[in-house]
Amino acid sequence: MSRAIRAAAPAKLNLYLHVLGRRPDGYHELDSLVAFADLADSVEVRPADRFCLTIDGPFAAPLLAEDPERNLVTRAVRMLAAELGRAPDVAVRLTKRLPVAGGIGGGSSDAAAALRALARLWDLAPDDPRPARVAPRLGADVPVCLFGRTADFGGVGDRVEAAPALPPVAVLLVNPGVAQPTRDVFAARTGPFGAAGRLERAPVDAADLARLLAARRNDLADPAARLAPVIGDVTARMTGARGCMFTRMSGSGATCFGLFADRAAAEAAAAAIRVERPGWWAAAGLLTDSAAGVDAA
């Protein structure tokens, strides 16, 4: 068996997201608190004679319908190989368990996982700067996904700093089966820009985190709900779930998250939603301290 490296590509959650302004180049300045859940895609890399990408999993179909050269994992492999001056001679398997274009950083997290796995496979030092140099060229969310820990996220993704640790929190993720292109949501945004809202202190427990987040916003929630009104149905259903302390859309949607004090309550809510709304994806997990779960297979 050839050596294989597997990396987790966890769901990225924007616990709040403020749009601060628009730059002359058209990109928006953002301020967000980013956390990760233990619900994840996975990326496995192993040596091969030439590059190839295999995609499987319950959400593989949209990606299989696309040109594999457009996939962010393909681009991550080719860019890092070029940065290192070597051939992209690896076989990659992407197992897609998270909804595509769901506002939880799926493609960006997949690309970051590929970079982490390749760094191990190709024996890069932990502090080698080249994966981090590649990350922003792949997309605004890839640097924070490569950072892989709870973070304050700013600018156009170019400012990523460690945030205070979060307390133990269970999370429910629900997607109504709607793919929400980020550019369309930004285009639909109207009104004044907001101000930064970094947490002034570390939350002490799940209820305290919910209180702190309630004083902040997702500035993309209203335009996203205008494009996909079902998002309002999702948040209403989650808010009514027993034990749910807080509900918000993540990123540009349409995935929404709910915070719970314990995982059992989140799992019970997920099970009930799957029965009541069989076309929706609902899964329960935990917020994690680190997304960089790279393991030798």
Residue 293 clears pLDDT 60, i.e. is over it: no
pLDDT mean across residues, the chain = 95
pLDDT > 70? residue 295: no
Tens digits of residue pLDDT in 248-271: 999 999 999 999 999 999 999 999
pLDDT digits (tens, 9 = 90+) for 194-230: 999 999 999 999 999 999 999 999 999 999 999 999 9
Q: How confident is the model at residue 63 (pLDDT cuts 50, 70, 90)?
A: very high
In tens, the pLDDT along 4-52 reads 999 999 999 999 999 999 999 989 999 999 999 999 999 999 999 999 9
Domain residue ranges in the chain: 5-163, 170-288
pLDDT at residue 266, rounded to an integer: 98
pLDDT digits (tens, 9 = 90+) for 168-177: 999 999 999 9
Q: How confident is the model at residue 291 (pLDDT cuts 50, 70, 90)?
A: low
Q: Is residue 180 very low, low, confident or very high in pLDDT (cuts 50, 70, 90)?
A: confident
CATH architecture of 5-163: 2-Layer Sandwich (3.30)
pLDDT grade for 294, boundaries at 50, 70 and 90: very low
Question: What residue has token string 């960006």?
Answer: 108
pLDDT for the residue 297: 45
Equal fold, 5-163 vs 170-288: no
Q: Which residue in the list 12, 96, 152, 219 is annotated as catalytic?
A: 12
233 as an active site residue: the answer is: no
Q: Which of 288, 9, 4 is nearest to 142 (CA)?
A: 9
pLDDT score of 2: 72
Which residue do the tokens 């949501």 mark?
Answer: 185
Residue 219 to residue 42: CA distance in whole angstroms: 30
Reported as a pLDDT band with limits 50, 70 and 90, residue 296 is: very low
d(CA 163, CA 119): 25
Q: Is 253 exposed, middle or buried (0-12, 13-18, 19+ CB in 10 A)?
A: buried
* Residues 6 or more apart whose Cβ sits within 8 Å of residue 69: 75
pLDDT for 179 equals 86
170-288 is classed in which CATH architecture? 2-Layer Sandwich (3.30)
* Other beta carbons less than 10 A from residue 242's beta carbon: 9
For 75, phi then psi, to 5°, come to -65, -40
Answer yes or no: 127 catalytic.
no
188: left (phi over 0), alpha (psi -120 to 50) or beta: alpha
pTM above 0.85, yes or no: yes
Catalytic residue among 31, 141, 152, 219: 141
